[in-house]
A and B are shown apart, each in its own frame.
Chain A
């Protein structure tokens, strides 16, 4: 941070391309004053939150269903899931736009589409990696299928599930910016893109910083939720 402030000030780094934090703050303040930052922020948040929530709902339910109850189906489907999740998201843009136009829906859906895979696959992996001895224990104390799933499989796979959720959040932001750089006139991605086109470098950086902060914040929020839900996890540091 200090380096960031000092280097451009001393002229060691080109101030035009990498402005100092103070320049960015000043620019940010002026954008807040005229209301454009809030407007872009709100529309972006709307898109990313919607997309991510749909991804959560679909990814988690498909993941738990496929991993928990339809193992054979999951095995058959696995290659397809792999292919779909590996597909380059940017090549998917045109497809989405053709089918859904360039409205809000297509942006939300593309965020959802890209984010769901890590959530789904991590959920499936988490379930597959539950130690069978825990399931044996569940049977031994007389639990039925649903109880074993609810009381053993779900909590046991939760740490891996949360890894997937955090990855999904990262993808959501990534796709948000991507989607907003194409065919839209609002949002943080558009703001970054637009500022870059007209060489308003400080404004571009405001956009980047805000997105980065949002991403960080989301990550911490998810970590916090995870901490409330996942108990007794050993903290190992290397």
Chain B
């Protein structure tokens, strides 16, 4: 029974793969200039104190020529060793910090500061502790809508992430996973075209995580969002991404892009995660990432253990 199901999915998947390849070719003809986000040779370095001479400042190069193109409506998952500059890249896309060199365009226009066309879910918890769930989600709407409208919109998005019965709770009364769901609702509430998410599900258990992943995929599909999603979990990246970008250890570039040639519709079917295609993609990604993680440890001899990145979700 199980194997029969597995085969059926794999056949579907194979068919999609062929179809997708044709799609790709068509895309590359017509879509050359219609990227939602274009990142060209982006560089970023920070001034940090020198290890030996505390009074001297040295340049720490974090991003060293990142090139990425993200199509409108595409879901891009980014993987990379810890400290390679994923959050830094997201900050720059969000307009929260400036690149040292290179260019970044959204809808063909250079990024100049933050804007409401981008909703950000930060890696840290960022719910305002003095506001309850409803007020937190309504917060970014304060300058654009009257109170009644704000509350209505906030309620809609809170129910979308399944927290309607927690509207009156303050952040310290919510679990870590709930907090991140509120943060997602808040990012969605401004109805941005682009969602920038930095490991939003890192703090939740595997079961909840699976549910949240599915919900996110459905939501972003329904509302046609362009998503940049950072994660440490390979399975998450393969499940969510239309495309996976793997970053090299710092100073980082995009080492490789892997297309996930399977439509979201089929990925949402639960058993995609146990199909052989899924395993194949996962192993491929794992192989590339492993090299980078090992390299990054050789470089920095950081305290970051190998397993942390590679065994998440039981790999």
Contact = CB atoms under 8 A, between A and B. Distances in A.
Interface of A: 133-134, 136-137, 139-143, 147, 151-152, 155-156, 158, 230-234
9 contacts: A133-B124, A134-B126, A136-B122, A140-B96, A140-B118, A142-B115, A152-B128, A156-B128, A234-B129
Contacts of A142: 114-116, 140, 143
Contacts of B85: none
A140 B94 contact: yes
A139 B96 contact: yes
Contacts of A230: 130
A140 B130 contact: no
A44 B139 CA distance: 45
A134 B96 CA distance: 12
B105 interface: no
Interface majority SS (helix, strand, loop, mixed), chain B: loop
Contacts, number: 59
B272 interface: no
B237 interface: no
Interface majority SS (helix, strand, loop, mixed), chain A: helix
| Range for the number of chain B residues in contact with chain A | 20 to 34
A-B residue pairs, 3 tightest by C-beta: A232-B170, A141-B140, A234-B172
Interface string B274-285: 000000000000
Contact of B128 (A136, A143, A155): A155
B142 interface: yes
A140 B189 CA distance: 13
B227 interface: no
Contacts of B132: 231-232
Nearest to B116: A142
Contacts of B130: 155-156, 158, 230-233
A232 B116 contact: no
A16 B87 CA distance: 72
A232 B171 contact: yes
